[in-house]
């Protein structure tokens, strides 16, 4: 891992409850996590209570959202705006997760709008990108990822990545128990950084690029040894406080 401060984020997806929030808040408050940014993204109904608890306990955890609307307000039933997230102190949000793209039809252009909307409210977007197993077999990995990144560059400019994070999540490794080898992950992370560097080398060098895809307490250390891996976006292991804490300590 290079000199950028690591970021370890947990995406709880449609899991978790008040008891889990209390456990995370208490145990991360009591533990020493140094020089690592820790973000936990619960379901939206828990955002405010989680934020209150980490603030009251002076916890190292930062609370992030799993999604947001590209609209600022209006008749959009079920959606959440950046103003709502900002009002309760949320400062990170996941955009373009593969499940949002595949299950809810989010395009690179829509994801770029969400990225832009988050930045406008000083919320740090975590831009997800990654390929399916079929796309990898067809050697389309770099094309897919370049398209996702270019959509953001076209709309927001390369400078926008000074205030954003990128997460490489190979779809074939999400929730499958399969994980990219450290070399496979590094190859893609290096491509992402070099692709950004075509626009601006300084911006590229400063972007934190996370790996996501069956990250756990057993494989994290080897992944974090790679030059261009600056942390992780964790799924299942992010729901177990001991496992998630081990990943953070490995960083």
pLDDT digits (tens, 9 = 90+) for 166-219: 999 998 887 777 778 999 999 999 999 999 999 999 999 999 999 998 899 999
DSSP assignment of the chain equals --SSPPEEEEE--S---HHHHHHHHHHHHHS---S-EEEEE--GGGHHHHHHHHHHTT-SEEEEES---SSSSSS-TT---HHHHHHTT--EEEES-HHHHHHH---HHHHHHHHHHHHHTT-EEEEEE---HHHHHTT-HHHHHHHHHHHHHHHH-GGGGGG-EEEE--GGGSSSS----HHHHHHHHHHHHHHHHTT-HHHHHH-EEEE-SS--TTTHHHHHTSTT--EEEESGGGGSHHHHHHHHHH-
Mean pLDDT of 235-241: 95
CATH tag, 7-71+78-250: 3.20.20.70
- At residue 178, the pLDDT reads 75
- The catalytically annotated residue of 99, 169, 189, 217 is 169
- At residue 116, the pLDDT reads 98
- At residue 222, the pLDDT reads 95
- At residue 175, the pLDDT reads 72
Is the predicted pLDDT of residue 163 greater than 70, yes or no? yes
Q: What is the pLDDT of residues 130-162, one digit of tens each?
A: 999 899 999 999 999 999 999 999 999 999 999
- At residue 235, the pLDDT reads 94
- At residue 1, the pLDDT reads 56
Q: What is the pLDDT of residues 20-36, one digit of tens each?
A: 999 999 888 766 788 89
Query: Is 169 labeled as catalytic in the residue annotation?
Result: yes
Query: Is 131 labeled as catalytic in the residue annotation?
Result: no
Q: What is the pLDDT of residues 33-83, one digit of tens each?
A: 888 999 999 999 999 999 999 999 888 999 999 999 999 999 999 999 999
- At residue 214, the pLDDT reads 86
- The catalytically annotated residue of 97, 131, 189, 217 is 97
Mean pLDDT of 95-113: 96
């Amino acid at each position: 891992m290079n000199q950028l401060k690591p970021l370890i984020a947990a995406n709880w997806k449609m899991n978790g409850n008040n008891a889990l929030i209390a456990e995370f808040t208490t145990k991360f408050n009591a533990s020493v996590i140094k020089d690592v940014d820790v973000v936990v993204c619960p379901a939206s109904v828990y955002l405010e209570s989680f934020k209150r608890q980490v603030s009251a306990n002076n916890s190292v955890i930062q609370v992030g959202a799993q999604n947001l609307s590209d609209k600022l307000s209006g008749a959009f039933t079920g959606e959440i705006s950046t103003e709502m997230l900002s009002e309760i102190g949320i400062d990170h949000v996941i955009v373009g997760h593969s499940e949002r793209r595949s299950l809810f039809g989010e395009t690179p252009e829509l994801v770029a709008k969400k990225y832009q909307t988050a930045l406008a409210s000083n919320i740090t977007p975590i831009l997800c990108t990654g390929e399916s197993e079929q796309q990898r077999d067809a050697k389309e990995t770099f094309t897919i990822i370049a398209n996702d990144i270019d959509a953001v560059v076209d709309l927001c400019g390369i400078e926008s990545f000074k205030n954003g994070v990128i997460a490489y999540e190979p779809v074939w490794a999400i929730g499958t128990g399969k994980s990219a080898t450290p070399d496979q992950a590094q190859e893609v992370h290096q491509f992402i950084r070099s692709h950004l560097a075509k626009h601006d080398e300084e911006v590229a060098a400063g972007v934190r690029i996370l790996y996501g895809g069956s990250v756990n307490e057993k494989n994290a250390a080897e992944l974090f040894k790679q030059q261009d891996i600056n942390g992780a976006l964790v799924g299942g292991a992010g729901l177990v406080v001991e496992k998630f804490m081990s990943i953070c300590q490995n960083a």
